Structure 1
């Protein structure tokens, strides 16, 4: 079972693309909206050093931006 978390904002088109891609592939995920959750946003920046979204954590590995190829490499 994959552990997938997508960190998003409300207005990010690439976040929508990432979520749609995961749904199309039948990959369940949880979503954290960093616009609504400042503590999560702070944790994200501390963890990855990146401000941009989407950032997707897959089984402890990070994918920055919308990168379907990297997602498919990381899922089991």
Structure 2
């Protein structure tokens, strides 16, 4: 199964940059969506995760809140097995 990774980010977000760097180091492609001043995106994230802040990363429909590389790798490894 192919990975579908999206980082919901804001400008000057240290955790966002850490997650992006981590995924680059793992050679994982990802999309970035800037959520700054986007009420529709804020509503979407609240519906999905119950949280507004960045970073939030969606990996094949599973969410990683903040900079949690171990959690991200567990999801990535699970997806790659299928």
Q: TM-score, normalised by structure 1?
A: 0.92
Shift of 1:55: 0.5
Tell me, which stretches of 5 or more residues in structure 2 are unaligned?
Answer: none
Q: Which runs of 4+ in 1 moved over 3 A?
A: none
| Residue equivalent to 2:3 | 2
Shift of 1:37: 3.3
Cα deviation 1:13-41 (Å, max 9, x = unaligned): 11000001101100000011100533222
Cα RMSD after superposing both structures: 1.1
Q: Alignment partner of 1:73: what SS? A: helix
| Residue equivalent to 1:39 | 40
Please state which structure has a larger fraction of its residues in helix: 2
Count of matched residue pairs:
76
Q: TM-score, normalised by structure 2?
A: 0.86
Tell me, which stretches of 5 or more residues in structure 1 are unaligned?
Answer: none
Report the structure number with the largest CA radius of gyration: 2
